[in-house]
Each structure stands twice: as C-alpha cells, then as structure tokens.
Amino acid sequence: MTLYAQSLWLIPALPLLVAGIGAITRHRGVAIAAILAMAGSFVLSCLALNSALAEPAAHTAYNFAWFDLGHGAMRLGFLLDPLTAFMCVMVTFVGTLIFIFSLGYMKEDPNFSRFFCFLSLFAAAMLGLLVANSLLLLFICWELVGLASYLLIGFWFHKPSAAAAAKKAFITTRIGDLGLLLGMLWLYNSTGSLLFYDGGHGVLEAATLASLSGTILTCGLAASTAIGLLIFCGAVGKSGQFPLHVWLPDAMEGPTPVSALIHAATMVAAGVFLIARVYPLMSADALLAAVPVHALTVVAFIGAITALMGALIACGQNDIKRVLAFSTVSQLGYMMLALGVGSWTAAIFHLLTHAFFKALLFLGAGSVIHAAHHEQDIRSLGGLSSKMKLTFITFAIGTCALVGVPLFFSGFWSKEAILHAAHGWQVSHLPFYAAVIGVILTAFYNTRLMAETFFGKPRSHAAEHAHENSSTMTTPLVLLAVGAVLLGFLSTPYWPWLQLQLDPTLEHEPASYGLMGLSVVLVALGIGAGWALYWRTTRTKASAPDPLAVRAPGVFAALAAKLGFDEFYAATFGRLNDLIAAVADGLDRWVFGGFVNLLAKLGVFSGLVNRQVDEDTLNGGFDGVSESVRGSGLRYSHAQTGEAHGYLRVMAAAFIVLALALVLGGVR
Amino acid sequence: MSPLHLCLLISTGLFCIGLAGALARTNTILVLLGIELMLNAANLNFIAFWRFGPSPASANGMIFVVFSIAVAAAEAAVGLALIIAVYRHQKNIRLQDANQLKG
C-alpha cells in the first residue's frame, strides 16, 4: 500500500483532531485517543515512506490554492520525498512511545487530559511542518510548534520558574522567527512563490535558484545567501544554536516527557529539518567565488561553536535534565555542522539516531526522577543501578549511543558520518577540531552523569527508596533502546542505505579507518577522564565538592554558570531593553502624557467657562424672561374672578360698545 | 316698514330679553335659558336675511340655522350635565357660588 502526496494531510490531521477533542473535554480517555492517533499517524507515515522509497529522487508535490491574492493565488501544498517520510516515521514512532510513557508519568496530574491535548497539538504541528511543501505552511506549523512548546514548558504554570521558562522559550525563539519571516517575505518578493517544488517554478528548483544566486546585492552577498541566512536565523532560534540556545536548558521546567518530545522528535528537530529542506537554497551560492561569505559557512561555524559550547557547559551542570539539555544543544550543533559542511544527509541521519537515544535518555531521566520523588540533582542521587535495573540498562545504552561507543551503537555511525564530512570540508578545519574536542567532552560528561546517578551509594532519602517504575514507563524505554542500537546500521560507511535514499546523487565514499580509529581513541579518552574523576572514587555525600571543581575551580564555576550567557544577555540586551522601556515610559508619562494632560486641563477649563456662561448669562436671561412672563400671568389671572355674571357683563358692555361703534360709524 | 325691518326688530327684542335674563338671574338654568334666547335671536336674523336677501332660492341661510340649532342642542345637553354636576358638588345651582375655577 502507498500513501500519496494529496493524502499526506492525514498524518498531522489525526493528532490535531485529538487535540481538538482534548480542548473541549476533560475525560481521561483523551490520552488513549492521543496514543491511538499517533499510532495511526505512524502507520500512515510508514505507508508514505513506502511510496517515497519507490522513487527516492522524486519530490512528489500536491499543491492547491489557499486564497486568491491580487493577480494570483496564495498556494500551499504537501510534499512527499524520503526526507519528509523518514522524519514523519521518526516523529510518530518516538512520539507514540513518549505518549505511552506520559500515561505513567503524568498519572497523578490533575490536568492529565489537558497535557495530552497539548502533546497532540505539538505533534500535529511538527508533522504539519514536515509534510509542508510551502514555506508559508511550514511557517504556520513552525509557529504552532512554538505555541505548543510554550504551553507545555509552562504546563506547571503555578511554578514561577516554569512560567518564566515558557516565556523565555517563546520570546527567544521569536527573535529567530523574525529572521525567518523576513527571509520568507524577501523570498516571496523576489520569486513570487513560496512553494518548494512546483513543477519547475518552486523556490527550490533550478531556475529560481539560478536567478536568486545570480542577483548580487549592494553588500556583495548573493540574494540567495541573504535569504538563506535569514531563514537560518529561524533555525538558530528553534534548534537552540549559539547565540539563541539559552531557552533550551530552561525548557527543562516542563514535565519530562515534554523535554523528551522537545529534544528528540519535535521543536529542535524542526530547525535542522528546515535547513535540510531548504538545503538547495542554502547551497545555491556555493559555486560563486566572489561573494564575501557563503550561507553554509556561517551554518558550519555556528554549528561548531554550538557543539563545543554545549558540551563544555554540560560538564558543569548538576541537574540530570540540564546535563541532557546541554548535550542536546551540543548534538544539534553537530547536525548544523554537518549541514554547513555540505552533508545534509549525515545531519538527518544524526537527527534520526539522536531522536531515538535522546528520547530514551530523557525518558530514562524521567523514570529516575519519578522514582526518586522529583529529585533531579545528580549529587543527591546515586546507587540506582541495582534499584532500577531496566532503567539503568536502557539509560546506559542511550548514553553509549550519545557518546558514540564504537560499532554497536547508532550514535557512533551518525557522528562518524559528520566527522567524516567535517574533515573533508575545504573551507576551514576549525569546525572539525571543535567537533573532535566535543566528542571527548561528550564522553566525559556522560561518564560523569552515569557515575553520579547510578553508581556509588544513594545520597538522599529519595534515592535510597527508589524502585523501578510500572511497565507503561519501562516498555517505551526498551523499544527506544532497541532503536538506539539498530538505527545506526541504516547507514554505515559500508552500506550507506539511508543516505543514498535521502540523496541518490551522493557518491559512495569508502570508510576512513583513520578517522574511525581517531574517534575510538577520543571516546576512550573522554570516558577515561570521566572514570578517573568520578567513577574510580564515587561521591560519598551530596554536599561533597565536585572533583573537577577541586582541580579547576574557576573553570568549573564558569561552566556551572553556563558561561554566563544568561547574565550577559541580562546585562546587555536585558538592560538595553530596560533602558528603552524606561525611555518609552518617560516619553509616555511626561511628553505624550503631558500633552494629553494639557488637553484634558484645557477641556476642563473650557468646561468651566461654558458652565459659567451657561448658568449666569443664558440661564439667567431665560430665567428672567420666564419669571416676568409668570409675574404678568399672575397679575392678569386676577381678572379671572370666577363670577360668570361679571364675564357676561363685560361681554354685554363690549357688545353695546361694538354696536354703537358700528351704528355711529355709519356702517350700513 | 318692510318685513325685514320687522323681523330685525323682533330679533333685537328677543336678544335684549335674553341678555337681560342672562345678566339678571342667579339661577344657572335661567341664565342658560337667556343665552338660548340670544342664540335664537341670531337664528331669526339668519332666516330673515336669507328670506329677504338677494338670493332666497339657495338654501344657505336655512343650513346655517340648522347647524346653529344642532350646536345649541348639544350645548344645552352639556350645560345641563354641568349644572347637575355642580349641584351634586355644592347642593345648589347659584351661579355666584360656582366660582371655584377662578384664576
């Protein structure tokens, strides 16, 4: 069976339907409906994958007019190609498992059904983003993803920190989205279309790309470079790249399944997916020699900086979820690096494997947190390996995949592909070195995380009494662990099936044993360092200082403070914002407000004058006139005596006078 | 003396009698009677001027009188009703006493 492009809307429609139902009812059955909808979407995605793999090179698009606009119509569409299909399968599979996990994790929460409503909205938005064939439709879903992440990060909104984190995530990503919006407008202005593939007229097709890269702006950049960089801004915000990564660690305030969803399947994957999707546009300027910078070079350097910085900061964190969050930042940096050095297939490969093992790690962390009564500080955990065997084993598999333990774990193969691509990049070798150091650090901090959480003695009451969770929470862990191992074999240097499906034009490069050997050495180095510092002698009590802090207090303090990005932003942009706000406030209060107050004073004054004129002059005049009328009326009323004879007498006299006048006046 | 003069003399007499009655009497019914006499004097004038006027063929004088009599009848009915109402109120019908509506 196959699923064609015109039916692709069904994939996001199913979770969206459940989100709609969840919005109007509080019944707990919403959770079951959400899981069923995700499973249904998973089946549909598999069908879509089946039809996409039938002809990997084709971009099957189904476009339709949304509304008429001036001289044309605004058109949206759905796109079916291997990229979309692989991503849909991953998102729906991981999403389904996370939903099932949430069933156990959120069981006690009073807003159980609301949680599943938001989760479904999140998944629906992400799936809509994946199947979009129009940058506009993608942008709409992109913003919906942002909204859903806001709702979910702030799900426990009664905690001030969660509310602040939700706001931070929303506003920080909004900064990047402004760039995406501008890029989109620019693209529409210069091409008149936002469809990706449209039978030769789409923005990702050769004719449009040639005209875009042929237009050189006054600053020397090609138009495609400028548009590409603006679109990249959106990806920087969404995918937590330097310098907009600050929201991602704070997003840990949300419930753990949300963190898993944000870090694995949705949200941060959206940025990488966006760049992979518009990759033809990003690389359109690659052959221009004269331009000052290529769009992809910027992407590569940002990715490398992010990869290194994320790994560094992760070494100094004590919250189990924050360590994982910074590892996500770092891994996203690897993906961007892969995109930047031209191997978008390696980026998507890493995105898929990362989705599995990072979802696994987050759900494992959720399992630990749930069992340890919401104790998240690794210094207070410890000794859980014997108490939570299943969680420990699956978490260890996830860690091995993240670290890139050779040969048997998916992370090794995908990271290998990225290192390979970075090594072969002609422009600069700096990103490659950053990635290499990142590999060591990744091994180091993950060893630390494992040692602190699962080994040694329990260092708090909660950790001492932890026990394994129910099967609704452990089953997804096992399934994800299987994926975290097996997914790597989809694309090894010996059999690059996935990469060839994504991009059939790719040449098959031979395996580089030197690079593989290097990566083995690096991982061993990192694990060795971690073992020496944290595992050989495990921590004895929660308040003991960190071994790294003892050896290099300055470095550790800087890492623990996340290299001071939050403080730096607070001191610069925050203060600038405060200044502008103060100026605006002053302007509002004194200048505009003063003017308005002056007008009001004038109004009051003229009102007073009016009243005076009205009361004294006009009213006085009218009162006087009516008083005199009344007085004369009173005087005349005395003639009304009430004596009928008197009236008759007057009438008779008047008659006689009249008659005499007529007779004597000579009227005939 | 032409018939017209005779008629006018009679109507003048009738009017004077009515006026004197209306002015002199204190009983409201008699005052009303006086007023009716004055009205009939005027009616007599209408008839006379029509009958001995330039166009006795047209019936306009007659029509005036018929209207005038109809109005007088209605007026008499209203007047008597008023008198009864006044009587109920103050147990007599002296015109001098009916002065509550003054000024």
Q: What is the pLDDT of residues A189-240, one digit of tens each?
A: 888 788 888 777 777 777 777 777 777 777 777 788 888 888 888 888 888 8
Whole-number pLDDT of residue A174: 87
pLDDT exceeds cutoff 90 at B40: yes
A549 Cβ neighbours under 8 A, 6+ residues apart: A556, A557, A560
For an interface test with A, give the residue of B4, B19, B29, B83 to mutate (most A CBs within 10 A).
Answer: B19
d(CA A382, CA A386): 10
Task: Write out the H or E segment, with its range, that includes residue A255.
Answer: none
- What is the reported pLDDT for A219? 75
Q: Write down the pLDDT at residue B66.
A: 92
Tell me which residue in B23, B101, B102 faces A645 most closely, judged by beta carbons.
Answer: B23
Closest-approach residue (CA) in chain A for B23: A645
Cα(A218)–Cα(A158) distance, integer angstroms: 51
**Length of chain A in terms of residues written:** 668
- Higher pLDDT: B1 or A325? It is A325
CA nearest B12 in A: which residue? Answer: A659
Return the CATH number of the domain spanning residue range B3-97.
Answer: 1.10.287.3510
Nearest to B101 among A642, A648, A655 (CB): A642
CB–CB of A401/A271 below 8 Å? no
Cβ of B103 within 8 Å of Cβ of A637? The answer is yes
The string of DSSP letters for A285-302 reads: TTT-SSSS--HHHHHHHH
Asked whether the predicted pLDDT for residue A93 surpasses 60, the reply is yes
Assigned token pair, A21? 């139902």
In tens, the pLDDT along A547-556 reads: 777 777 777 7
Please report the number of interchain residue pairs, chain A to chain B, with beta-carbon separation below 8 angstroms.
Answer: 33
Contact between A85 and A45 (Cβ < 8 Å):
yes
Torsions phi, psi for B93 (to 5 deg): -125, 35
The torsion region of residue A404 among left (phi > 0), alpha (psi -120 to 50) and beta comes to left
- The most distant pair of C-alpha atoms in chain A lies apart, rounded to whole Å, by 152
Write the pLDDT tens digit of every residue in A494-547: 677 777 777 777 666 666 777 778 888 888 888 888 877 777 777 777 677 777
What's the CA gap between A203 and A199, in Å, rounded?
Answer: 10
Enclosing H/E stretch for A527: helix A513-530
The predicted structure's pLDDT at residue A609: 92
SS3 of chain B: CCHHHHHHHHHHHHHHHHHHHHHHCCEHHHHHHHHHHHHHHHHHHHHHHHHCCCCCCCCHHHHHHHHHHHHHHHHHHHHHHHHHHHHHHHCCCECCCCCCCCC
Q: How close does chain A come to B87, measured CA to CA in Å? A: 16
Residues of B in Cβ contact (< 8 Å) with A645: 23, 95-96
Flag if A640 and B102 touch (Cβ within 8 Å): yes
Q: State residue B103's pLDDT score.
A: 56
For residue A243, is the peptide bond before it cis, meaning its omega torsion is within 30 degrees of 0? Answer: yes
**H helix runs in A291-343, sequence order:** 295-314, 320-340
HSE-up (13 A, CA, CB side) for residue A172: 29
When pLDDT is averaged across residues A626-643 and rounded to a whole number, the result is 86
- Domain residue limits, chain B: 3-97
Tell me if chain A has a CB within 8 Å of the CB of B1.
no
Q: Which residues touch B57 (CB under 8 Å, ≥6 apart)?
A: none
Q: How many residues does chain B have?
A: 103
- Cα–Cα distances in angstroms (integers) from residue A301 to residues A91, A222, A338, A434, B2, in the given order: 28, 19, 10, 9, 139
Global pTM? Answer: 0.73
- Chain A residue numbers with beta carbons less than 8 Å from the beta carbon of B103 are 637-642
3-state class of A495 per DSSP? strand
What's at A376, amino acid-wise?
Q
User: What does residue A590 show for φ and ψ, rounded to 5 degrees?
Assistant: -95, -45
Overall average pLDDT of the A633-649 stretch: 83
Task: Identify all chain A residues contacting B96, using CB atoms and an 8 Å cutoff.
Answer: 643-645
Contact B99 A645 (CB under 8 A): no
Residue A343 is given by DSSP the state: -
Distance CA A302, CA A336 (A): 8
Q: Provide the sign of the torsion angle of the four alpha carbons A323, A325, A331, A336, taken in this order.
A: negative
Identify any residues that bridge with A639 across adjacent strands, giving them in sequence order.
Answer: none
Q: Is the pLDDT confidence value at A1 over 60?
A: no
Closest by Cβ to B103, choosing from A640, A652, A655: A640
- pLDDT tens-digit profile of A415-473? 888 888 888 887 788 888 888 888 888 888 888 888 888 877 777 777 777 777 777 77
For residues A43 and A126, give the distance between their C-alpha atoms in angstroms, rounded to a whole number.
17
Half-sphere exposure of A628 (CA within 13 A, CB side): 5
Are the CB atoms for A495 and A119 separated by under 8 Å?
Answer: no
pLDDT in the model for residue A542: 66
What's the rounded Cα separation, in Å, for the pair A404 and A436? 12
pLDDT band at B77 (very low <50, low <70, confident <90, very high): very high
In order, the DSSP letters of A375-434 are --BTTT---HHHHSHHHHHHHHHHHHHHHT-TTTSHHHHHHHHHHHHHHT-SS-SHHHHH
Residues of chain A with a CB closer than 8 angstroms to some CB in chain B: 637-645, 648-649, 652, 655
Beta pairing partners, A63: A77
Q: Can you give A12-76 as a three-state secondary structure string?
A: HHHHHHHHHHHHHCCCCHHHHHHHHHHHHHHHHHHHHHHHHHHCCCCCEEEEEEEEEECCEEEEE
Q: Do B103 and A638 touch (CB under 8 A)?
A: yes
Q: What ipTM goes with this model?
A: 0.81
More reliable by pLDDT, A627 or A485: A627
Contacts of A314 (CB under 8 A, 6+ apart): A323, A326, A327, A329, A330, A441, A442, A445
Instruction: Quickly count: other Cβ atoms within 10 Å of residue A584's Cβ.
Output: 11
Q: Taking CB atoms and an 8 Å cutoff, what residues of chain B touch A663? A: none
